[in-house]
Amino acid sequence: MIIKQLSVFLENRSGRLTELTEILGNAGINLSALSIAETSEFGIIRMVVSDPQKGLEILKEHNFSVNLTDVICLCTPNKAGSLAKALKILSTAGISIEYMYAFSIGEEAFVVLRTENLNETIAILEKNKMAILKACELYNS
């Protein structure tokens, strides 16, 4: 249930994100989800990719500051109020969200979450019949 996310610290200059995505693409690594948080000097790129270990290695070889971070990916209906329902379950249980990003495809929405205790988060969501993607559903076989 826990998936690996690449977290890359990237200087905020033209072409650097292009370089990052070209390196991954040339290595045959597909991006499933991506989020960028930036300041005036640098950004943090968070990515769920098809092969996180290979992505980590290839980016380190190209001198990127990168690490693997554990996250989960919640799957909800792509309907108004679905995210609020999931967040209510977590907040009622005292779970604080460090960060999240989301996307939707058709009738499903996917929410990548980082919390202080992922195993507890998973247990609470499962107890409340919330669907969580497995790593094998995102990675290359």
pTM value? Answer: 0.87
Across-strand partners of 36? 45
- The model's pLDDT over 108-133, given as tens digits with 9 standing for 90+, comes to 999 999 999 999 999 999 999 999 98
Last residue of a domain, one of 22, 39, 69: 69
Which CATH number characterizes residue 130's domain? 3.30.2130.10
The contacts of residue 114 (CB under 8 Å, 6+ apart) are 5, 69, 70, 71, 97, 98, 99, 100
- The model's pLDDT over 43-87, given as tens digits with 9 standing for 90+, comes to 899 999 999 999 999 999 999 999 999 999 999 999 999 999 999
Last residue of a domain, one of 23, 40, 69: 69
Consecutive H or E run containing 89:
helix 82-92
Query: What letter does residue 1 receive in the DSSP assignment?
Result: -
Q: Are residues 65 and 76 in the same domain?
A: no
Q: Domains in the chain: how many in total?
A: 2
Specify the pLDDT at position 141. 43
